[in-house]
Structure 1
Amino acid sequence: MVDHAVSENVTTGHRLGGSLKLVDAIAQSVGVIGPVFSIAFLVPLLVGLNASGSGAGAAAPLSVVIAAVGVLGLGWIVSEYTKRIHSAGSLYDYVTDGLGKRIGAAAGFLYYAGILALGAGILVMIGGTIHDTLQAEFGVTPLPEAGWDLLLLLGLAVVLYLGVALSTRAQLVLALVSFAVVLAFFVVVIVKAGAADDVGKAFTPASSPQGFGGVLFGVLYGVLLFTGFETAANLGEETAHPKRDIPRAVLISVLTVAVFYVIGSYSQVAGYHFDLDALGKNAGAPLFGLAGPVSDGGFGSVAVRRLLELVVVLDMLAVLIGCAVSASRGMFALARDRRLPAALGKVSGRGTPLAAAAVVVAFHAVVIVLTATWTGLLAQPEMPHYVAMFSWGSTFGGFSLAVIYLLMSAGALRGLRDHRRRWAVYLAGTVGIVVTGAAIFGAVYKVSAPIIYAPYAAVVVFALGLVLAFRHAARA
């Protein structure tokens, strides 16, 4: 077994500093997954309230379980690679190891472009959500949407400058608080639902209007719930014991979030008494419908709903920080490997990728300006512009990451062929190819404009990355 401590060209540039621990790596992965934010808004996609009209219905928890098994296959591949390669740009190094430098370089462009777009989309989503929630709940507007966006951007810039330890600890606090509060509420819903509870109904294909085929459609969207699980690997170079802690962080993150998603999806379908029409009336955010007063059919009160709105925002902040950390490390690694301008490989005195972090902040600033001033850009009917921008950015990011997962899974069949358990490589690689291929299909099937432009744009970015990679090889 060959142990690549860092990517091939690390010795020609700078290295990042840090002595992160297991908990930091877990915080990074869970932070980017954003389990609370995802379970609050994406359950309707699982049940079938999506562009295709197909889904798992009341069997949504079964789709989550199947998706989790598939993602564990991907997680196993990542964990095995982290024992060999632990650098700031780990995921594209994994693709390089299996499919070659050119495909790996193009994968790096697409992966970090996706993370960057996802982060910028979540920033304007947070700012707009804070603005609209304060206006709706309390009748106050202390700042315009762009004002909240800029305040968030300033905070993000400070966190990135002060170092990754602060970034991961901030994610940990935000994620833990939101995770604990929402999980407690899910338990309350399950208990209060009483006679409506039917565990068997939630885990049988017969509960889907389309049977097992509907459950599989739910899996397409279920895989996307776990997007970002691998981002702990981007901290391999800054972790004290990467061979031990990064694999554990990836697998612990997937398992923990999987349990949370199963409980969360079950509590929502049970909370609406397995009535898809009732859930559909709250399709924008079923969680908040359940958190409302009993008089409105909920299980909480106005105060409980407001508390959950707050913790969802906290989880979104964790996603924002995690995406920014990953994107800055990725651009730094690409620059160090001479795939991007060398200036982006500059390291600050604190051991952080200073120039790359500045580019991340600048890109977010551009998206803020576009969201505030170009309201027709990627606009969707009856949807605030910040939601439309987030929807497009998250689709671009989710599709991009799914493509990279697919390439990594296919490449692992070659890159990990010397593994002592070759059968496990073939099994995990096959499972990874199947589930990521399904997720890619789900991201484009019957999707209309302007959202469908996001996968098209991702294909263009990957093609551009290939062109640049071939030009780089010709000059070398």
Structure 2
Amino acid sequence: METSFWRSLWRTKPVDEIVREGGGGEGGELKRSMTLIQLTFFSVGATLGTGIFVVMGEATPLAGPAVVLAFLLSAITALFSALSYAELAGTIPVSGSSYSYTYATMGELVAWVCGWCLILEYGVSVSAVAVGWAQYLNDFLDKAFGVKIPDAWSQAPDKGGVINITAVLIVAAMTFLLMRGASESAKVNTAMVFFKLGLLIFFIVVGFTGFNSGNLSPFMPLGFAGVSAAASQVFFSYIGFDAASTAGEEAKNPKRDLPLAIILSLAIVTIVYVLVALVAVGALPWTELDSDTEASLSAILTDVTGATWPALLLSAGAVIAITSVVLTVLYGQTRILFAMSRDGLVPPLFQKINRRTSVPVANTLVVGGFVSLLAALVPLDHLTDATSIGTLFAFALVNLGVIVLRRTKPHLPRSFKTPLYPLTPLLGVFFCLYVMQGLRPVTWLVFALWTLAGLVFYFGYSRRHSRLLRAQREMR
């Protein structure tokens, strides 16, 4: 009996069953409507914005001008995992992302822990981004109209506020948009991504005219340890490239488009991040780069052009950039819970589809409400590190999943194969662990407590309601 219990925790879900269920389950079927460019921009939308407009100002004091290398190091860390995501997304094109991949390769218990980490990654990160959005909206209103939202309604309680109502409003608006349908959300996101890419390209072109190579010397004043510490901070800005993998059941051609969207989005984001960081530390001494990154970038534009309108445009761009992150990350969270609900590991409410809009409405409302509560009451600096550690753990599992599936199902059709196997996924695991060790002890404590809470939920609810376990018992 004890052996049977232990084995049941590691039973994997057959790949063909996961893919078959992706065509529709008890709660309904999602609608295939997303093109390659929409999938790519979903990942770009989920990624591009937080790193430049929220995190860069915190990472630069740790590395100096070498913050550029920190962005590259984080990109390399993300690349190995992105290649593994691309292989598994093309092989198992469903909504569950790394949760579903882990279920197929390492068993239910590990899949649950991975899914629980994804709830931390997506739910907490979108809350952090909504808090950042509230700050940038205030900055834009101040620059454009000389108006500021009172701290009582734009800050968390420990920052002098009562409730961050502006953060709640952006989450509520994006929740409403998601309820209208995935296709409508994708179109709005594509427009926002085009705008913020154009704006950042504008900053790069204009900023380079004020570039001073002397600002890059010394390039690494705090040594490689500083670069490593900065990379741990900056990695938060790459979270989101996997967003396309959560749209596996809404992609028109998932086996071809999902791998391409993941890799293309990471390439676009990396190029933009590195160039913006290089311009910023080249046009402004790194010691003067304010923790409010957008204010520093605005100062560069004002100094170079001698006009105030470019800074105002950048401020508006920050608001738009972070709006698209809220939209796409909120979307990803609902689709992961949809997949977990279909497996019985979270309540069935999360998989019920509205027949008219093909959207999991109750799921979207619950997620929007939870995220709003976090964004209203918790400050930004308590959220970002917790997001990074959950993401890195999930990424490590995806890399391991590629190795396991290659060994257990070598003849499974794969529309994309990770190059230099097994070196690439092994390096992916190594870099994830390397960046994780640079996070603060308190972050590890939060992660341990979160994991413990997840295990309590699993053994208290999920295991007893698992469809896989129930089906296997009926076969005996």
**TM beyond 0.5:** yes
1:134 aligns with 2:129: no
How many angstroms does 1:284 deviate by? 2.4
Contact 2:96 2:340 in 1 (8 A): yes
Among candidates 52, 56, 61, match of residue 43 of structure 1:
56
Measured at CA, do residues 461 and 96 of structure 1 come closer, stay the same or move farther in structure 2, by a change above 3 Å? same
Does structure 2 retain, via aligned residues, the 8 Å contact 1:227–1:401?
Answer: yes
Quote the residue 1:406 is aligned against: 396
Question: Contact between 1:220 and 1:439, CA under 8 Å: does it hold in 2?
Answer: yes
The alpha carbon displacement at 1:165 in A equals 1.1
Other structure's SS at 1:310 match: helix
Give 1:103 shift.
Answer: 0.6
**Structure 2 stretches lacking a partner, 5+ long:** 1-13, 155-163, 412-416
Q: CA deviation at 1:366?
A: 2.7
Match of 1:342 in 2: 348
CA 1:412–1:300 in structure 2 vs 1: closer, same or farther (change >3 Å)?
Answer: farther
The aligned residue for residue 451 of structure 2 is 459
Matching residue of 1:186: 204
- Structure 1 position 354 matched with structure 2 position 335: no
2:439 to 428, 438, 443: 443
Three-state SS of the structure 2 residue aligned to 1:424 is coil
State the partner residue of 1:392: 382
Report the TM-score when normalising by structure 2. Answer: 0.82
Q: How far apart are the structure 2 equivalents of 1:142 and 1:106?
A: 40
Matched, 1:23 2:37: yes
Q: Does 1:325 align with 2:325?
A: no
The Cα of 1:303 is off from its aligned counterpart by 2.2
**1:104-127 deviations in Å (ceiling 9; x for gaps):** 122112202321122233224323
8 Å CA contact 2:81–2:396 kept in 1: the answer is no
TM-score by length of structure 1 reads: 0.82
Match of 2:161 in 1: none
Counterpart amino acid of residue 458 in structure 1: W
Is 2:42 the partner of 1:32?
no
Tell me by how many angstroms 1:195 deviates: 5.2
Matched, 1:432 2:428: yes
C-alpha RMSD over aligned residues: 2.9
Q: CA deviation at 1:230?
A: 0.7
Runs of 4+ residues over 6 Å off in structure 1: 420-423
Letter in 1 for 2:235: V
Aligned to 1:207: 219
**Match of 1:99, as an amino acid?**
M
Which range moves more in the overlay, 142-151 or 239-248? 142-151
Mapped to 2, the partners of 1:425 and 1:465 lie a distance apart of 36
Tell me what 1:311 maps to: 317
CA spacing shift, 1:267–1:330, aligned 2, 3 Å: same
Partner of 2:111: 104
CA pair 148-60 structure 1, distance change in 2 beyond 3 A: closer
Query: What is the aligned counterpart of 1:255 among 267, 276, 280?
Result: 267
SS at 1:416's partner residue?
helix
Unaligned 5+ segments in structure 1 are 50-54, 372-377, 379-387
Count residues in correspondence: 435
Percent of matched pairs sharing the same residue: 20
